[in-house]
Structure 1
Amino acid sequence: MSKTEEFSKHINEGYTCKGDYITLGGGIFEGEAIPNTHVNIPLKTLNRHGLIAGATGTGKTKTIQVLSEQLSLKGIPVLMMDIKGDFSGIAMPGEEKSFISERHQKISIPYETKAFPVELMTISEQNGVRLRATVSEFGPVLFSRILDLNDTQSGVVSVIFKYCDDNSYPLLDLKDFKKVLNYATNEGKPEFESEYGRISTASTGSILRKIIELEQQGATFFFGEKSFEIEDLMRIDENGNGYVNIIRLTDIQDRPKLFSTFMLSLLAEIYNTMPEQGDSGQPELVIFIDEAHLIFKEASKTLLNQIETIVKLIRSKGIGVFFITQNPMDVPTGVLAQLGLKIQHALRAFTANDRKAIKMTAENYPETTFYKTAEALTSLGIGEALITALSEKGTPMPLVATMMRAPMSRMDILSETEIDTAISKSKLAKKYNEVIDRESAYELLNKKIAEAQEMVVAKKEVKPTRKAKEEPSTTEVLGKSITKVVTSASFIRGAFGLLTKMFKR
């Protein structure tokens, strides 16, 4: 048996699936694609998460597109974080070109063009289905972790949430929370101290500064109503294809705190909403997080721990999470250890640090007699990748250099006109894009403060005052004058009488 035949047998045995699967491409040996060596990934293990890594221009975007298409065809919805604005073309059929036909002939996979059901979403000012969440839905623990608060400040946040629960003050957006925070150390200080203990102005000041920082990154668009319902990510179209939900994030690349906040809240909400699945035949939803380093950039240790915990637990709910980044070292070790499927595109060795990173990356993959992994990482062409996955039994599948299949949909973005048309037809846009600002903590506390001030004013108005001296009437003046005259006459008469008596003596 030749080395090529040995390779074919090794790959075909290693990537044979008993259950349902998706096909990513064909095996490469000694620089050539080997026909009929299909790299199949079992649907059963796609909730064990994954990594797609590689240098700029090596084909990561098209790999994400291929994965999303194949999942959609199996009736599995996809949620995609589109940082660079690369994925909207999935909504339109692709165009078969000669280089695509040649590629598919080499890997023995038929090619067809196809459009997929797409929802375009946003958490910022961009056009799309609005994704929002209320402050109350975060809860005090998650809200404190997002703001990176210390224990004392977290305690204040818990008191604020408790006060609002006790008094039925809805915490919907950030202005609600800021209003209660301000009230706790000003007008409502006596009330808070008597029921919840003293709250330090230094703590509330620090919390307020953290909230303002979050607002400056655009969080006011995210916090509020109407809250997005996770079930709307799980839709299947009339042809049985899962929806590809694309969140447009091109305007928040320089706002990592907002991105981290959104991702953590979304994962937590999905985890809390979805029922336990166990080891089902396929995932309920697969999430692709492009430019994943933005999640971990500037994230606190507490926030990283929270993300790691959710990634560990969320697979039991049938959710797969894929991180996409240039270098696998961008992903924390604790998260990297949870990723079952690894698709590694080429890395470039321009510096000593690059070579060191390549060596470390190679050590994360299973050993193989068919490749020198470190060398293969630098010699892969565009649209080629080293792949290893988990078998249906949960064991690592062989490492294989793969020529990836081409996307079936458009390998370019939609125009602004096409985007506007797609959003105007969206049922979800009609459901979530109406601005709602119902009466909540902000309005209720303002009303309470106004009523208290009115009571103070009213008390001042009813306080008894001295009666003004009334002017005497004409009759009274005349009476008083007569009395005076009579009294004077009596006095004079009395005085003259006394004198007369004295002189007579």
Structure 2
Amino acid sequence: MLQDGKLFIGTSRKPDDSINKGEYLDLGYANRHGLVTGATGTGKTVTLQILAESFSNAGVPVFCADVKGDLSGIAAAGEPKDFLEKRAKTIGLDPYEFQEFPVIFWDLFGEKGHRVRTTLAEMGPLLLARLMDSTDAQEGVLNIAFKIADENGMALLDLKDLQALLNYMSEHASELSGMFGNVSKQSIGAIQRDLLVLEQQGAEHFFGEPALEISDIMRTTPDGRGAISVLAADRLMMNPRLYATFLLWLLSELFEELPEVGDPDKPRLVFFFDEAHLLFDEAPKVLVDRVEQVVRLIRSKGVGVYFVTQNPLDVPETVLSQLGNRIQHALRAYTPREQKAVKVAAETFRPNPEFDCFEAITQLGVGEALVSTLAEKGIPSMVERTLIRPPSSRLGPITEAERRDVMAVSPVAGQYDKDVDRESAYEILAKRAESAARKEEEQRRREEEENRKIEESRRWTLPGFGDEDDYDDRGRKQSPTRSRSTRSRYQRQTVTEAMIKSVARSAATSLGRALARGILGSLKKGR
């Protein structure tokens, strides 16, 4: 419900339960962020639903997560029910009309909505380290990996790109350590194991292309209503770290891409962060500082951020102080921690002298809340005990057939449904490895050919194949000196010459023997 640039939230009650006045959220201050808290079953999801409806009718796009699956009913018109009509009559909502809203369903797994992806490069090493709960040393290795990819023109798009780059870094760890400092193979191995866990948890569906265009969650319809982007998060909640990291990435992308617009008449986008405590659970200080920075500065981009959680203590004080519009549903106060939470919640409101906030928080009924919004000049209004208006869309989830029908006429139908795998770090490193292997094979073949030629030359110098004068009669290699002298004496002898010399040697031998016998015979006769 819109009235003079204000969104109707509900009607406040006096302590005697009589109707007081309407409670509104000024669109001009809606980008000052907000907080919706309350125990399970007190009506937080319905409050989120009626706020999303109101922003949509005011022409403001909305992004919200559907943690339990029942927020999908916002895509269908509501149905008359006794308790809804009774609430409308009690708060003076006349006429109470049912309406369906322009919804775009999204899903990281592509099952209940259009695929939502981002690239590792857009995620960055800080958020990726948060996603994997990395140590400081591992985060340092991730920073080096992203720097190497950037300097060498290797796009990091999906998990296999980073895995290939980490393999490269492990093989060249010594060389990289000299350039960037210690690059430990142990840290690389730990990151690779964490990436395997992420892959098994479904993160491979999240990293890749086509990446989500921020403009697609900031659409308006031809009749001027803002599109409501609903992220199916029921399965995503099985990996709460991935859920929190994705929403933080989306918030960071909005901060980095949108231009400064100051304080517009209405927000350009409203972002609801359901189960917000998951963002801050065990988060390192550097990450909390990042959230605080984004929340503080994104206001001037025209974006309103609304945290939805059970306990105000789930949100760090530095972030809590930035949230000007507050809706507090009932809290329980059975344990000391719960009592502290109630006290913190009560102290954050501008007091109302007509009732005690601490007691009121513990006594609120379902669909009832303490409401304080920013009024003129950004001053918080006095807290009021308020009956929240009933939604115009359906309470509860839509059917699977209805969901498919909504997706079929979606303005982004077919745009994100198919994977695109262009050349990136994995392909570049694979080509380099293939080229190196090919060069190594060529080198091996050249060496084998050289060895073959050497072996061939040795075979042709064996006895019977080369110069026989280089070997003696036993086939042994002669010394160079002897071989040369032998060749010098006999290299000019012909076969005839050799025969004449042989006959001469035989004749000389016979003549010598005859002379010896004659001389010896004469001596004997003389005796």
Distance in structure 2 (CA, Å) of the matches to 1:299 and 1:484: 103
Structure 1: give runs of 5+ residues left out of the alignment. 1-16, 478-482
Distance in structure 2 (CA, Å) of the matches to 1:132 and 1:25: 37
Gap change, CA 1:350 and 1:141, over 3 Å in 2: closer
What is the correspondence of 1:31-430 to structure 2 with a 5 Å cutoff?
A: 31-34=16-19, 37-110=21-94, 111-186=96-171, 188-189=172-173, 192=176, 199-430=183-414
CA contact (8 A) 2:332 2:338 kept: yes
Gap change, CA 1:27 and 1:209, over 3 Å in 2: same
Distance in structure 1 (CA, Å) of the matches to 2:465 and 2:425: 65
CA contact (8 A) 2:272 2:308 kept: yes
Q: Give the C-alpha shift of residue 98 in structure 1.
A: 3.5
Q: 2:506 aligns with which of 476, 490, 496?
A: 496
Q: Give the C-alpha shift of residue 191 in structure 1.
A: 6.3
1:154 alignment partner AA: E
Runs (4+) of structure 1 moved beyond 6 Å? 474-477, 483-488
CA contact (8 A) 1:146 1:303 kept: no
Q: Secondary structure at the match of 1:403?
A: strand
Q: Give the C-alpha shift of residue 22 in structure 1.
A: 0.6
Distance in structure 2 (CA, Å) of the matches to 1:30 and 1:386: 13
1:363 alignment partner AA: E
Match of 1:5 in 2: none
Q: Secondary structure at the match of 2:63?
A: strand
Distance in structure 2 (CA, Å) of the matches to 1:486 and 1:436: 91
CA contact (8 A) 1:148 1:302 kept: no
1:176 alignment partner AA: D
Q: Give the C-alpha shift of residue 129 in structure 1.
A: 1.1
Q: Secondary structure at the match of 2:195?
A: helix
Q: Give the C-alpha shift of residue 352 in structure 1.
A: 4.4
2:168 alignment partner AA: Y
Structure 2: give runs of 5+ residues left out of the alignment. 468-492, 516-527
Q: 2:6 aligns with which of 21, 27, 31?
A: 21
1:287 alignment partner AA: F
2:347 alignment partner AA: E
Q: Secondary structure at the match of 1:432?
A: coil
Distance in structure 2 (CA, Å) of the matches to 1:403 and 1:208: 52
Distance in structure 2 (CA, Å) of the matches to 1:417 and 1:487: 115
Gap change, CA 1:160 and 1:491, over 3 Å in 2: farther
Q: Give the C-alpha shift of residue 353 in structure 1.
A: 3.9
CA contact (8 A) 1:218 1:258 kept: no
CA contact (8 A) 1:256 1:298 kept: no
CA contact (8 A) 1:148 1:303 kept: no
Q: Secondary structure at the match of 1:431?
A: coil
Distance in structure 1 (CA, Å) of the matches to 2:376 and 2:59: 19
Distance in structure 1 (CA, Å) of the matches to 2:504 and 2:184: 83
Segment drifting more, 382-391 vs 105-114: 105-114
Match of 2:479 in 1: none
Q: Give the C-alpha shift of residue 499 in structure 1.
A: 2.5
Distance in structure 1 (CA, Å) of the matches to 2:511 and 2:124: 107
1:397 alignment partner AA: S
Q: Give the C-alpha shift of residue 431 in structure 1.
A: 0.6
Deviations for 1:81-109, whole angstroms, at most 9, x for unmatched residues?
A: 11111211111111233333332232222
CA contact (8 A) 1:133 1:226 kept: yes
Q: Give the C-alpha shift of residue 195 in structure 1.
A: 5.9
Q: Give the C-alpha shift of residue 470 in structure 1.
A: 5.5
Gap change, CA 1:125 and 1:384, over 3 Å in 2: same
Match of 2:475 in 1: none
Distance in structure 1 (CA, Å) of the matches to 2:212 and 2:465: 84
Distance in structure 2 (CA, Å) of the matches to 1:494 and 1:272: 113
Segment drifting more, 325-334 vs 153-162: 153-162
Q: Secondary structure at the match of 1:338?
A: coil
Q: Secondary structure at the match of 2:397?
A: coil
Q: Secondary structure at the match of 2:260?
A: coil
Gap change, CA 1:504 and 1:191, over 3 Å in 2: farther
Q: Give the C-alpha shift of residue 487 in structure 1.
A: 8.9
CA contact (8 A) 2:174 2:183 kept: no
Deviations for 1:170-223, whole angstroms, at most 9, x for unmatched residues?
A: 11011101110111121x457646765663212212322333343343211111
Deviations for 1:395-438, whole angstroms, at most 9, x for unmatched residues?
A: 11110001111100111211111112222222313111111122
Distance in structure 1 (CA, Å) of the matches to 2:334 and 2:7: 35
Gap change, CA 1:453 and 1:499, over 3 Å in 2: same
Distance in structure 1 (CA, Å) of the matches to 2:263 and 2:498: 120
Q: Secondary structure at the match of 1:124?
A: coil
Distance in structure 2 (CA, Å) of the matches to 1:269 and 1:503: 121
Q: Secondary structure at the match of 2:187?
A: helix
Distance in structure 1 (CA, Å) of the matches to 2:150 and 2:508: 92
Distance in structure 1 (CA, Å) of the matches to 2:503 and 2:290: 110
CA contact (8 A) 1:26 1:33 kept: no
Compute the RMSD of aligned alpha carbons: 3.0
- How many residues align? The count is 486
Distance in structure 2 (CA, Å) of the matches to 1:498 and 1:431: 114
Gap change, CA 1:488 and 1:29, over 3 Å in 2: farther
CA contact (8 A) 1:23 1:38 kept: yes
Q: Give the C-alpha shift of residue 123 in structure 1.
A: 1.3
Larger radius of gyration, structure 1 or 2?
2
Distance in structure 1 (CA, Å) of the matches to 2:86 and 2:466: 123
CA contact (8 A) 1:257 1:298 kept: no
Distance in structure 2 (CA, Å) of the matches to 1:178 and 1:295: 26
2:302 alignment partner AA: G
CA contact (8 A) 2:350 2:382 kept: yes
Deviations for 1:112-171, whole angstroms, at most 9, x for unmatched residues?
A: 111100001011253311111111112344434444445543333233223222322211
Q: Secondary structure at the match of 2:118?
A: coil
Distance in structure 2 (CA, Å) of the matches to 1:294 and 1:169: 33
